[in-house]
Each structure stands twice: as C-alpha cells, then as structure tokens.
Amino acid sequence: MRLLITRPEEDAEPLATALAARGIASLIEPLLTVADVAGPAPDLAGVQALLVTSANGVRAFARRSPERAMPVLVVGDASAAAARQLGFTSVKSAAGDVAALARLVAAELDPRNGALLHVASSKVAGDLAGKLARAGFDCRRQVLYQARAATVLGPKTRAALDTGAVDGVLLFSPRTASTFARLITDAGIAGACRRMTAYCLSRAVADAVSGLAWRGVVVASAPNQESLLDAVAGGPSAP
C-alpha cells in the first residue's frame, strides 16, 4: 500500500515514519504551507493558560515567546507531543476536536483565574471562543501564523495519481481536503480517486471531498492521528 500524505512538511515526516513502521509506503505532498504572521510577542498578562488547536500553533508561539511554564491545553496528542518537544512543562491533551478541548478546559480550569489565549492561524475551524464564553471563560485569539493552500500539485504527485501508483490519501482537515479536491480536479485527474480510498480525520473532512468519486471513504473513529492510522489498517469502506 502507498498513501499520499497531505500534511504540512513538519507534520508529514513523522507521519511517514509512523506509516513505514506499519509497513506502508508514502508520498508527501504538503497542501498547506505554514508561515509566521508578523506581530508583537503574545501578551500573557492576566492569562492563565494557552489553548492550542494545532501543532503549528504551539510552534509559532515557541518562536515568538520564551514562556514554557504556563499550562498548555491542546486539541490532540500530536499537538501535545510538539509542545513537550519544545520544552513546555505542563501540557494536557483533549485527544479529540475543538469540542473536546472546550470540555477539557471546563474540567481543568476556572474562569475566575484569568483569561485564555488561543494561539491560532488566520483561519480557524470550529467556534472554540463561543463554546468557552458560554462556560464563562474569556478566550482571546492571537493569530501567530497562516497556512497558505497549494495552487498546483507537484509533478511527482500528479504522475503517481495519474498512473495509479497511490492507493489512498490521508486528509486531516476540511481545508486540506477541499484543497485536494480542487487541485486534482483542476489537473484533470479526478478520475484517479476511483482507484483510491480517502482516509479522513472526521466526517467534516469527508464531506469536503464528497464531490469526488472514491473507491472508498474511511472516517477515523476519533479525530486524532492514531485513530486515523487504525482506520487505514481497517481498509476501505463505502462512502
């Protein structure tokens, strides 16, 4: 089996290693390129904890601030691993999605102890601030990075898709999924999906590629990388 990895480069290499450990070959084609947004260092006055909804967020924060002792609550285990690797000493993972992160915050923190700082991209999925506001929290969002969507598929990836050398594609976000759908359609090779399985982190991701005709669509049982890899092991299913 050979799978197409569409994650940003920093996340793609560890994923390729994890696949190789399971005997699965991969081809990397980052569909989002991450870049820092110019601006001041994060203002942490009155902030009791950081909220992180992607590994890119914690990396961007670490490049901008030396703070490592403040509690960090993250959406998933990959983000938690990135935070720990960067030296953050108090990290808790929701092991899920934005709703799971909001539940973790409500269980672990008290609104009376200060604001929350959500370090984020210029585009966010889900209404984290709204969910937390309803629980009484002051959640501030600071944009530290942006993810630019690819405008064309690389020649190696296009050739592999066109010749049937890819068995499936791993899709981790609705934006990545919609970018893939646009690029493969623009390239005139959308028919390649009939030979492939779309492995999707969530139903929202699957919905973003529902306009393509797939051999199968598999949705992870939980919105995290380990569950998606387990879904790969389970094989294709009908859309």
CATH for 34-148, among 3.40.50.10090, 3.30.2130.30, 3.50.50.60, 1.10.10.350? 3.40.50.10090
CA atoms of 195 and 149, how far apart (whole Å): 25
Burial 135-146 (b: 16+ CB within 10 A, else e): eebebebbbbbb
CATH entry 3.40.50.10090 includes domain 2-31+150-234: yes
Residue 214 tokens, joined: 């797939």
Q: Tell me, yes or no, if the pTM score tops 0.85.
A: no
- pLDDT reported for residue 239: 39
Q: Do domains 2-31+150-234 and 34-148 have the same CATH topology?
A: yes
- Domain ranges in the chain are 2-31+150-234, 34-148
Residues 148, 35: contact at Cβ < 8 Å? Answer: yes
Q: Which residues of the chain have pLDDT under 70?
A: 125-126, 235-239
Calculate the CA dihedral of residues 181, 226, 25, 213 and round it to 10 degrees.
Answer: -30
| Predicted local confidence at residue 236, as pLDDT | 52
